[in-house]
Amino acid sequence: MLITFSGIVGSGKSTSSKYVRDFLVDQNLNPLYVRFRFLTWNWPKMKRKAIKKGRRSSNIKRQKREKPFRCEPMRRLGFLRFAGYAIRMVNFHLFHRFMLNGHLVICDRFFYDNLVHYKLEGKAERIYFRILTKFMPKADLSFLMLADPEIIIQRRESYEPNYIRELHAKYTVMSDTFCDLQLMRTDDPRDVLDVIERQIRERLNGKLKG
């Protein structure tokens, strides 16, 4: 079973994915926790470094100092980028089938978080995007964490506000594009984790403790 968490920076996707990991550990299911951005072609190395067996997380958080006004401009989806993502998707299909088959996997970020950063201004770009969306690996549960952009700006003061607003708009469109993405509003995150836990219980009915 593959569970993915995507969303705008500061929306709580990493917090939610780690909560689910810890919840499943408490259920004695020993999930695998995957940091999606670390996936490479070297499967054995990826198995060692990118995947961590579920464990209780520490309450102590390391504070990292971020540079002010972080901003990543929207890119163009040219043929080379399209081909690169197609290859990565093939790699993930194979990795999931042969290395993760039978495992309960939690993925922090997914392909949605890559594609949201691209402009789709030309006809070719829109065609590339449609092909990638058709070929993208499908998860058993896919959650999209999204909060109001003004709340995100308060949570992530080091990010340029207009960049946050533009990215929020792109993620909102993404939630309409992919019917398998379940939108989770995290303006007030207190109830979101209960909803996610309930959905996982329904999928794993009979394997979880009451």
| 210 belongs to a structural domain | no
Q: Name every residue whose Cβ is closer than 8 Å to that of residue 104 and which is 6 or more positions away in sequence.
A: 1, 3, 24, 29, 30, 31, 32
- Segments of the chain scoring below 70 in pLDDT: 38-69, 206-210
Contact 128, 79 (CB under 8 A): yes
Distance, CA of 13 to CA of 189 (rounded, Å)? 11
- Would you state the pLDDT for residue 36? 83
Distance, CA of 149 to CA of 166 (rounded, Å)? 9
Number of domains in the chain: 1
* DSSP tag of 68: S
* DSSP tag of 56: P
| 126 belongs to a structural domain | yes
98, burial (CB in 10 Å: exposed 0-12, middle 13-18, buried 19+): exposed
* Domain carrying residue 126: 2-57+74-203
- Would you state the pLDDT for residue 146? 94
For residue 15, the Cα-to-chain-centroid distance in whole angstroms is 11
- Average predicted confidence (pLDDT) for the chain: 83
Which strand (E) or helix (H) includes residue 45? helix 43-49
Task: Tell me the C-alpha to C-alpha distance, in Å, between residue 115 and each of 1, 85, 94, 133, 170.
Answer: 23, 9, 20, 9, 10
Sheet containing strand 32-35, strands side by side: 51-53, 32-35, 105-108, 2-7, 141-146, 181-185
- Would you state the pLDDT for residue 41? 45
CATH at residue 49:
3.40.50.300
Predicted confidence (pLDDT) per residue in 103-117, tens digit: 889 999 999 999 999
Contact 169, 32 (CB under 8 A): no
The type of residue at 169 is A
- Would you state the pLDDT for residue 73? 78
| 127 belongs to a structural domain | yes
Distance, CA of 163 to CA of 152 (rounded, Å)? 11
- Would you state the pLDDT for residue 54? 56
| 102 belongs to a structural domain | yes
As given in the structure block, the two tokens for residue 149 are 């952009």
